[in-house]
Amino acid sequence: MQHFHGMTVEWLGHATFLLKTAKGTTILIDPWLESNPAHPKNWRAPEKIDIVLCPHGHMDHIGDAAAVAKKYKPNFIGMYELMSYLKTKGAENITPMNLGGTVTLKDVTVTLVEARHSSSIDDNGQTIYCGEPAGFIIRVDGEPVLYDAGDTSVFGDMKLIGQIYKPQIALLPIGDHFTMGPDTAAIAAEYVGCNKVIPTHYGTFPVLTGRPEQLREHLRGKSIDVLELKPGEPLY
């Protein structure tokens, strides 16, 4: 877990994160908890979750969305088609958006930005299109700007994301195979111009071979720190 001024950032394994702002707003990035093999044992679930960010329609990102919807009744934010799908799974409060759009809920401002990936769900043998995949820019007053890239390859317009939103901290997938690996994640970090990277989407399955130390090696000589979190370090 890391503290950024008053905000805490807790990694729950794979690409799942729990953020808590100084004002107490709780944001879950990726509703994939109990069925996540990297989910920390003995994790103390929060009493409330206000906002859930969903990057794309794959089970390793939204696998527990229905359970989270039922337990917490949070506001789900994500791509229009993905939100429509989650509504059929019991998500009552949804904010369907599209790329480039910004929404403010409580003290949190979220912008959907481009990601290069795919987004569809197999539901009882039927493939459901979930819209374009997305990343998120997360802004809270007084905190560094966070960029969660979602699942993606590196792409040139990460420079544009950097130019427009000036994220200081980037959550970047490094596992390879389904996303960029440590070598291209290092390029992504430079493109977005952040000074800290939190590596995600690695170690969960054997094919996700990228490791933070490799990212660190690729960033040697650059003034970009790699913050390696441990899943489920207690919040307090």
Residue 29 or residue 224: which is nearer to Zn ion going by CB?
A: 29
Q: How far is the CB of 43 from Zn ion (least distance, A)?
A: 20
Residue 74 or residue 175: which is nearer to Zn ion going by CB?
A: 175
Element (H, E) at 172: strand 169-173
Residue 108 or residue 180: which is nearer to Zn ion going by CB?
A: 180
Contact positions toward Zn ion, by CB under 5 A?
A: 60, 151
Q: Are strands 26-29 and 146-148 parallel, antiparallel or unpaired?
A: unpaired
Q: Is 221 buried (19+), middle (13-18) or exposed (0-12) by CB count in 10 A?
A: exposed
Q: Is 89 buried (19+), middle (13-18) or exposed (0-12) by CB count in 10 A?
A: middle
Residue 7 or residue 28: which is nearer to Zn ion going by CB?
A: 28
Contacts of 88 (CB under 8 A, 6+ apart): none
